[in-house]
Structure 1
Amino acid sequence: MSNNSTGRLEVPEAKEALDRFKMEVADELGVPLTNGYNGNLTSYQNGSVGGYMVKKMIEAQEKQMSGKSGR
């Protein structure tokens, strides 16, 4: 199995939606994420945003697969 962490999107058309989602998650977590450079944030802060995004995406997919409404 090859490592596919190149930073490229599998569906480039989803970039804007993912960026909005990232900002929403950062806001929920209280992480002062901005568009552009965020080198002032800790690895923990950035990681918490990414980790929570994955958690929410998995929950949404599980709901969809179970036939339950996501919203």
Structure 2
Amino acid sequence: MPRKKNRKRLVPGAEQALEKFKMEIAGELGILDGSPGMTLESALEKYKHEIAGELGIDSYIKNQGWQDVSSGKCGAVGGRMGGRIGGNMVKRMIEMAEKQMSGQ
């Protein structure tokens, strides 16, 4: 079961806005496809297995679970997931800041 990270936000109450933003980006990337009942968590779980398949470890994970997968392989899966979503979030924030600075 995934652990809940205990991160303290600089702006109280920003968690909901960040989750909404993450969902928006995941939707634009086709990760959150709007299927009935799909949540961000279930979409990310599905995406995680797609990446594991690309790395050739998905059948192993389905049979054995994640516990014996090397940290390098787990990091490769997590890096691809976080990099794609997080990178696009940062890109969008930079675009928003540039617009604000130019007065648009």
The TM-score normalised by the length of structure 1 is: 0.69
CA distance in 2, matches of 1:59, 1:7: 26
Closer, same or farther in 2 for the Cα pair 1:31/1:46, shift >3 Å?
farther
Q: Which of residues 32, 35, 41 in structure 2 aligns to 1:35? A: 41
CA distance in 1, matches of 2:96, 2:81: 23
C-alpha deviations, 1:1-50, integer Å up to 9, x for none?
A: xxxxx8432112221111100011011112247238x5661321221000
Q: Which of residues 24, 49, 61 in structure 1 aligns to 2:85? A: 49
CA distance in 2, matches of 1:53, 1:7: 18
| Structure 1 equivalent of residue 65 of structure 2 | none
Q: Which runs of 5+ in 1 are unaligned?
A: 1-5
| Partner AA of 2:40 in structure 1 | T
Aligned residue-pair number? 62
CA distance in 2, matches of 1:39, 1:62: 33
Q: Which runs of 5+ in 2 are unaligned?
A: 1-5, 33-38, 49-76
Higher Rg = 2
Shift of 1:66: 0.7
CA distance in 2, matches of 1:57, 1:49: 12
Q: Where is the helix percentage greater, Structure 1 or Structure 2?
A: 2
Q: How many percent identity over aligned positions?
A: 45
CA distance in 2, matches of 1:45, 1:63: 28
Report the more deviating stretch, 21-30 or 6-15: 6-15
The TM-score normalised by the length of structure 2 is: 0.50
